[in-house]
Structure 1
């Protein structure tokens, strides 16, 4: 990978129509060049997407994805687009020549090794590199496709429901494979999706109602607006003396947490634009739920106002979480056919590896795994004292309406719920410092100003829960 990057860097500057003028404006206005390129690319995809409905046949739809996806990739990444081509070609060859039962693992090993090389190059040689975002999504999609092809060769009694749903019975043609990877609204930043979902979209023309488009436009505008608000709380200075120096300790910690939370809106912004473009092209309908949620990658309310850690984790980067659940959590370190605590840890470690090599990623995901274990213990031991019933299919925030229904919860349930929400939010932002800053020395300096309270409390609770038995609730008539 480094040799490819070195060869590319020696090439003459590429001729990308319109990009030089855009870059000049960014330099003049002191805007981040790469970020603006991505946003302009996503907006261009949104503008083109409605015309996708005019394409006359399935092969044309595949071809249009390849042409449009590579065009927007060339605009943003120029020569670095070659990395996606290398990954596709090697995957396609391995699917044809490797034994079917090994093809998925071989493809996954190659793609992750290649992605690690990309991360290494970015973190040690080119910090402003952006094409690895597309490579991350590509790795997720191709790995899932290859493992699903291996699953298709198993006997039906060995397949889980997830395997049966995603299984691939034949190798896609090169055109189909490229159309799947270069699906233009999501090629730059994701989210990812399964191959059978892509095939269903290509073969079935659908148009979302105007209310869905209106909702997606409003969501994108809100995310863009809060992205600009985040400039007032820049995460780069939260450990500097000039960051609210006169504020009391608690307020300063909360303001640091606010900076971390607002930083996430740069991700919400690009994912909301990708979803907007995909739905405009007719992608995203889910027959199971009868909703246009196929490209929804975040439940922002659940992440930013989480009632517990499980809700927060499940609401963030949904497609990556689903991919990890399908291809890691449900397959690694099973005990009697069921995932274990090590399955959770393995999922978080694979997620960290997928994101990069910086220690901050691994600290963040290890903290997340520990938070999840503590949250499980608290929920199992104490929730029934405050909420007497539970509807797993209800919206997470529906618990706040139980206060108006006699017999459903304890009068002090609101304290349990609001306390859980507050501590979950603070724990998330504390861990998020590692994910967003990455520099370990800076992270330690910031955490020391918190006296390392969140991880200390987490470890103490884990020790307590694993060395004590839960109190039994007395039954009443």
Structure 2
């Protein structure tokens, strides 16, 4: 739409760009589209449902990106063709992975600018993961069930999906633009009416509730970013602040920035819940759960006192995808850290070529390395852990660790948002590279920390892994397993 149209005017009024407003409309339109489906089509022919989802998703794609919808159509057709000709083989996985990622990277190269723009490559990166997973799932389906992991068993496909099924899965209106990811197996169970029992209570209220949270987070983000915009990080008022104030401001800005992603995920999750696609079984009281399309755990996200906890609560759906299709597939490397590096490199490349992505994920790696090593050290000193658990020290520690998580998350996000090396280097320079020094030196000072703790709390002990850890002791076991699933911002 030409500049000066009603969309442009409305976007200007609310302080957003026109593409951003189009994106918001596209996320919200999923609610009426899926309510109509639930009301009139959910128990009808799967073919009819596929066509409905395709029309809805293609309409959204055209509304946002016009003729560029052809890119998604071509990649969907190619994905089907590969499965039709050589599906279920390792070769099909390699061909699909190479083509889909290659297509995305070429698109990044051709359309890239010095800033992050909302354009057709944004939904295409979501599509890329979905179509790659499809080849993996059909390949897993050709293996014996007992040879598959629990995750693989849940997504493995025994029968090659049709072109219509692949298109319906890809263009599902609530998830085409920003996700969430969900397996073809879940989608097929949904359209065939076998995902949840017939007498399951309606999820409409639960979906609207989740969507309301998303709108609330979006309002907080919009207000916050109008006060502390991204450009503030390189502005003269910021640079002339005392160091401690710059550091705190970066933390506040980072928290606000994360709300942009949280709001989008909550809105799309709400639409998925409303449709019934998010069904995930029942709780102990027999009430239905609707967590199958969740991409953020709000309680854990807001109360995180370690990066490991934050990763468990943020972008969980994409984390699970990377864990299943990248991290765990690299087990042949026989080294957890190499697998983590491989997963993070994939995530950075999936985001694009900007150096800021790689700088951000490098920071994540060294932070997670430090936190995991520190947790291992603390477990050897039960007396110290017991003291950290006991009030009032536990309350003081919570505040300190919360400050640590918020401020250093903002520090990490600086490069992710600023993208260009000249910008994020200036940003880190303004903070004297405090994060790089603080986390990067851990491998050198760890022996000294062990020595000091040994002097203060006695000889090191081998304690069970369930022993509590710093910041939020009860999360220790969760962190040990959760650290394997790397974050995708």
The alpha-carbon deviation at position 358 of structure 1 amounts to 0.2
Is the Cα contact below 8 Å between 1:260 and 1:432 reproduced in 2? Answer: yes
- Cα separation, partners in 2 of 1:122 and 1:105, compared to 1, 3 Å: same
The alpha-carbon deviation at position 253 of structure 1 amounts to 1.6
Give the match for residue 378 of structure 1: 374
Give the match for residue 434 of structure 1: 415
Give the match for residue 394 of structure 1: none
The alpha-carbon deviation at position 474 of structure 1 amounts to 5.6
Alignment of 1:304-319 (within 5 A): 304-319=302-317
1:89 equivalent in alignment to 2:77: yes
Is the Cα contact below 8 Å between 1:427 and 1:454 reproduced in 2? Answer: yes
1:452 equivalent in alignment to 2:433: yes
Give the whole-Å Cα distance in 2 for the aligned partners of 1:197 and 1:89. Answer: 21
Give the match for residue 46 of structure 2: 58
- Cα separation, partners in 2 of 1:29 and 1:157, compared to 1, 3 Å: closer
The alpha-carbon deviation at position 172 of structure 1 amounts to 0.2
Give the match for residue 174 of structure 2: 185
SS in 2 for 1:286: coil
Is the Cα contact below 8 Å between 1:334 and 1:340 reproduced in 2? Answer: no
Residues 159-204 of structure 1 deviation map (CA, whole Å, 9 limit, x = unaligned): 2222222211111011111110000111111111111111222222
The alpha-carbon deviation at position 248 of structure 1 amounts to 3.0
Where do 4+ consecutive residues of structure 1 move more than 6 Å? 466-470
- Cα separation, partners in 2 of 1:282 and 1:164, compared to 1, 3 Å: closer
Alignment of 1:21-420 (within 5 A): 21-23=6-8, 25-26=10-11, 31-53=16-38, 54-55=40-41, 56-98=44-86, 100-124=89-113, 128-204=117-193, 208-209=202-203, 211-229=205-223, 230-243=225-238, 245=240, 247-287=241-281, 290-334=288-332, 340-383=336-379, 384-387=382-385, 409=390, 412-420=393-401
- Cα separation, partners in 2 of 1:24 and 1:311, compared to 1, 3 Å: same
129-138 or 352-361, larger mean C-alpha shift: 129-138
The alpha-carbon deviation at position 421 of structure 1 amounts to 2.8
- Cα separation, partners in 2 of 1:177 and 1:447, compared to 1, 3 Å: same
Give the whole-Å Cα distance in 2 for the aligned partners of 1:445 and 1:439. Answer: 10
Give the whole-Å Cα distance in 2 for the aligned partners of 1:244 and 1:90. Answer: 50
SS in 2 for 1:328: helix
Give the match for residue 391 of structure 1: none
TM-score after normalising by structure 2: 0.83
The alpha-carbon deviation at position 437 of structure 1 amounts to 1.2
Is the Cα contact below 8 Å between 1:386 and 1:413 reproduced in 2? Answer: no
Residues 277-331 of structure 1 deviation map (CA, whole Å, 9 limit, x = unaligned): 2222222111276521122211244334422111111211111110110011111
Unaligned runs of 5+ in 2: 464-489
- Cα separation, partners in 2 of 1:117 and 1:207, compared to 1, 3 Å: farther
Is the Cα contact below 8 Å between 2:37 and 2:275 reproduced in 1? Answer: yes
The alpha-carbon deviation at position 385 of structure 1 amounts to 4.4
How many pairs are equivalent?
Answer: 440
